[in-house]
Amino acid sequence: MKQSLILLILLGCSLSAVAQKTKPSDNPRGLKSAELGAAYFELRTYHCNESKRPDLIRRFRDHTLRLLERHGITNVAYFLPTDSNNNSLTFILAYPDKASREVRWNDFANDPEWKAAAKQSEANGKLVARVDQTFMTMVPELSREIKKSKGKPERIFELRTYHCLPGKLEDLKVRFRDHTRKLFERHGMTNVVYWQTVPRDGTQPKLVYLLAHKNEEAAKASFDAFRKDPEWVKVRDASEANGKIVEKVESMYLTALDFSPLK
């Protein structure tokens, strides 16, 4: 009886030690889809050195995605631009919150397996010339989840970034909430997700969102019809009664890579 009691105590101590060593980064699945609405997102664009993008894609497919997930970082989407002259790769990651981003990214960057994979992939030269990085949070009044395709249709994505005039971001979000998204859907466009940026310099955030289209030709036809829609014209004019809202819009068409969770 005494020996059994001692064994139970020792077993309890061992389990406690294991529990204390377990960190959020030990969860290989990263965030669950239900948690993405409250997540902290990172949009990264890698501008590749000449002829190196295939090597970068291979490194993501064979190593990077798995190692990111090992450290609790969620792979959201991986894209290539449809423009053949654009030698970049854009991807989106998610973290539970802002505080966890540095910890988890540093754990990944210092993982010996990642270092070995990166070194091997760059044996014949560096793959990436420049990295663009944007942090974002989901806009709750515009989207609470990331809408994935229900089937397996081929589609392209459009990444759109709105630079607002000073003090006009909230007006833009109201217009999207009450009118624009519905009108997009009317004209054959799929609302996927809406974010706003988290600027490090204290400037006004930008609105960033993803639409999905059947193809580029369909996308352009949809936007042409949307811009001419009398309801849109009326809504736009009413929302800009006190001045224009948007200073500049940037748009890029993207296709999802085969290993992208969002397709």
Per residue in 158-185, pLDDT (tens digit) is 999 999 999 999 999 999 999 999 999 9
- Nearest residue to 149 (alpha-carbon basis) of 19, 262, 67: 262
pTM here is 0.86
Predicted confidence at residue 182, as pLDDT, reads 98
Provide mean pLDDT across the span 100-123: 97
**Cα separation, 139 vs 197, whole angstroms:** 10
Q: Report residue 154's pLDDT band, with 50, 70 and 90 as the boundaries.
A: confident
- DSSP H helices, the chain, are 2-21, 53-59, 65-70, 98-109, 112-121, 169-175, 181-186, 216-228, 230-239
Residue given tokens 């990642």 in the structure block: 114
CB 75 within 8 A of CB 93: yes
Distance spanning both ends of the chain, measured CA to CA: 60
Q: How confident is the model at residue 197 (pLDDT cuts 50, 70, 90)?
A: very high
pLDDT band at 31 (very low <50, low <70, confident <90, very high): low
Residue 8 has pLDDT above 50, yes or no: no
- Exposure b/e, 212-222, CB count within 10 A at least 16 = b: bbbeeeebeeb
Give residue 6's pLDDT band: very low, low, confident or very high (50, 70, 90). very low
